[in-house]
Structure 1
Amino acid sequence: MSSSRSHRSGGSGQRGSGSGSSSNKPRTSHVCPLLASLLASSSSSSSPNPYGHRRRRTTLTAQKTIQQLIDALVTHRVNTLTELRRIEQVAAACENEDDARRFQEPMTAAWLHYVSSNQFLSELRGLTPDYPFSSDLLADAHQRVVTDPLSNRSWNLAWLCLCKIRDDGLLPLYAVAEANKPDMWGYNSETGEPYTPADEEVARLAQCFEYEWTQAVTTLLRHWATPPTWY
């Protein structure tokens, strides 16, 4: 075996696909100052108040906060899973049906942008540093969601993709495909030819990919104790 074997399999983030490049690093997971202030305002504005004029002021403040959150979604100032999830929770907690309906289209578009802008892939790869998450796998999951008539049960494209990955058994399938890629194995140090791994070696590497990817998907799915569905 080539002396580069361990480097290629253990450091596959350096592959030609660019999975180790800085462009694929996830954004920091802390909540942006804008979102933090808006959520704090939303929380305080919902406090009960015995005085009518203050109650009216509270209602106006809440409406302003809702509009600011919607603006943040529409302009994509918020584009990480944690931040989008927090706004999603605010929308779900709306007691006024009209307020909840105002969030519907912007929230749907924001989750679509999160996936299509590759931020979703970046965050998945941030959770899989040793065996970077497959872009082909995520693209397949996305396509399956698009062609699934039942996908209209949710506004949340990221959640739908995670469920497809888990439920359609895509993790082991793409783990094997990734482990079979020639650039996982480098070259034979003696002949200079591409190294041909034994079946057992490919199987072990595939298990490593599948384990780390499974942990990442499971971690992200924990953001939803209740499925974000219409029914």
Structure 2
Amino acid sequence: MSTYSSSSQDSIYSSPGPQQYAVVTQGMMSNPASISENDKQQLMQALRTHRVNTLTELRRIERIFASLNTADVTAPMTAAWAYYVNSNNLLNELRGLTKNYPFSSECLDEAKWQTTEDPSSSRSWNYCWLVLTKIKNQGLITKHARLLARKPTMWGGQTPTAAGVEKLATACIKEWTRALDQMLRNWSTPPSTTGR
């Protein structure tokens, strides 16, 4: 008889198996102000460890935290939005919405730069919303669509015609604006420093 157990149920080598969890549950969304302290801590941990890194999930947590109106959620929420933007997840989601003419990384980079230089950007914990509104309010889509359309690399090294440049710029503007508007529809009101 072996000295090793045939059952590995309680072994340190046994795998707990896949863990099923929902970061934001239906109960949290139906009455966000009544979530438990434990649930709040789990949401904050999910933000800190970047388990949540899509616009939709971040917005769900933001709505819950806004209803709590407590200061301890501000830092993790602010950091999560900054990570979402700076880790290229915002760009990836924008490009997922712009399949024909991928969203310009230069446009997004300029908006990020303008946002960090803008003293009024402290009015919100939501860096993503600030960047998206900067793109819209500063007309960055039109600027970068026109710059892109003029690049000879877009035309196989050939010098583009004025009509060709205008046609490509118009197509980019249309697709990029649609994607930007779709992203901004996630907020019915501008998020403030408390997320409200």
Q: TM-score, normalised by structure 2?
A: 0.83
Aligned match of 2:160: 197
Once the 2 structures are TM-superposed, how far is the Cα of residue 230 of structure 1 from its aligned partner?
A: 3.2
2:97 equivalent to 1:127: yes
Contact 2:152 2:160 in 1 (8 A): no
Once the 2 structures are TM-superposed, how far is the Cα of residue 44 of structure 1 from its aligned partner?
A: 7.4
2:109 equivalent to 1:136: no
Secondary structure of the 1:93 match is: helix
Aligned match of 1:93: 67
Find the partner of 1:213 among 176, 189, 193: 176
1:140-182 deviations in Å (ceiling 9; x for gaps): 0000000000000001011000100000111110000111111
Distance in 1 (CA, whole Å) between partners of 2:30 and 2:176 is 39
Once the 2 structures are TM-superposed, how far is the Cα of residue 41 of structure 1 from its aligned partner?
A: 4.8
Distance in 2 (CA, whole Å) between partners of 1:145 and 1:46 is 30
2:8 equivalent to 1:34: no
Distance in 2 (CA, whole Å) between partners of 1:182 and 1:34 is 49
Q: Which amino acid aligns with 1:134?
A: S
Distance in 2 (CA, whole Å) between partners of 1:75 and 1:125 is 24
Q: 1:46 to 1:118 in 2, by over 3 A?
A: closer
Contact 1:111 1:158 in 2 (8 A): yes
For 1:34-183, list aligned pairs within 5 A. 34-36=21-23, 38-43=24-29, 62-94=36-68, 97=69, 100-183=70-153
Contact 1:41 1:65 in 2 (8 A): no
Q: TM-score, normalised by structure 1?
A: 0.71
Aligned match of 2:155: 185
Structure 1, unpaired ranges of 5+ = 1-32, 48-58, 187-193
Q: 1:183 to 1:154 in 2, by over 3 A?
A: same
1:111-151 deviations in Å (ceiling 9; x for gaps): 00001100000000000000000001000000000000000
Q: 1:171 to 1:41 in 2, by over 3 A?
A: same
Structure 1 runs of 4+ with >2 Å offset: 33-36, 38-47
Q: What's the C-alpha RMSD, in Å, of the aligned pairs?
A: 2.0
Secondary structure of the 1:228 match is: coil
Contact 1:76 1:110 in 2 (8 A): yes
Contact 1:46 1:62 in 2 (8 A): no
Once the 2 structures are TM-superposed, how far is the Cα of residue 183 of structure 1 from its aligned partner?
A: 1.8
Structure 2, unpaired ranges of 5+ = 1-19
Secondary structure of the 2:193 match is: coil
Distance in 2 (CA, whole Å) between partners of 1:46 and 1:135 is 35
Contact 1:121 1:138 in 2 (8 A): yes
Distance in 2 (CA, whole Å) between partners of 1:172 and 1:199 is 16
Once the 2 structures are TM-superposed, how far is the Cα of residue 196 of structure 1 from its aligned partner?
A: 1.8
